[in-house]
Amino acid sequence: MNYYYITGTSRGIGKAFAEHLLENPTNYVIGMSRQCSIEHPNYRHFYLDLTDVNAVTDFKFELHAHPEKVYLINNAGSLGFIKPIGKLEPFTIIKNYTLNLIAPSLLTNAFIKTYNTTDAEKVIVNISSGAARTPIDGWALYCSSKAGLDMFSRVVDAEQKVRADHPLENIHKGFRIFSIAPGVVDTTMQEEIRSASKEDFSRLEDFIAYNTNHQLGNPKTISEKYFRLLSKINAINEVSIAIKDYD
């Protein structure tokens, strides 16, 4: 059996990931979000507020009997309020960093600790963004938290490679980790972007045009691309990548 832990499964890419995986009866999906929109015999939901550090810290991964694969997909994320620094409330900053960076870091730490001695294909997929590499006005929290997630992923990958060089520590297969940007996708986040104020976001017209010109990816199609790529996991040579680079 293959086990997939996915955050943010109530909508968008996270829901598309779960629904895609559930087409295969050998997959079992564990979703984590504040709402549940999936009903399936191979789906289990944890009502989890990923902006609540204590709730995330209390979450426990389960030890599964002889799994073939165990995945953690840190998908949940938010732009937060689209405003320049100086116009944000302190709690907004804390909440955004918690969801986009602290929660994935806590879950990754617990995931590695739990499955450290499990002999299976163990993979962590962090959903990145082109914003991690491009400064966009009004998106300071999103850009910086996604950049932090990319670097976090690269460090974890480096640690796993160091561990692999020590035979006594490498009795079981190590972990693979990737930070993969999906491109612009037709989700609620895009709706939020298009409703931003021109005063606070100079690129508003660009994102309106993505929608008008049908340039937004479909979540189902993007999900299929992710798992097509992950099915050839040994062909991925970098940690921080964009899905379009492997189409």
Domain ranges of the chain: 2-183+218-246
Output the six-digit token pair for 99: 């969801």
DSSP state of 168: G
Task: Kindly give the parts of the chain with pLDDT less than 70.
Answer: 165-172
Strand duo 175-181 + 121-127: pairing? parallel
Residues making up the chain, counted from first to last: 247
Which candidate in 71, 142, 210, 226 is catalytic?
142
246 is catalytic: no
- Give residue 245's pLDDT: 87
Distances in Å between the Cα of 24 and the Cα atoms of 19, 40, 61 are 9, 12, 22
pLDDT one-digit tens code per residue, 140-166: 999 999 999 999 999 999 999 998 766
Sheet holding 69-74, edge to edge: 43-47, 27-33, 2-7, 69-74, 121-127, 175-181, 240-242
- Give residue 88's pLDDT: 96
pTM score of the predicted model: 0.94
Choosing among 3.40.50.300, 1.10.10.10, 3.40.50.720, 3.90.320.10, the CATH entry for 2-183+218-246 is: 3.40.50.720
Mean pLDDT of the chain: 94
- Give residue 247's pLDDT: 74
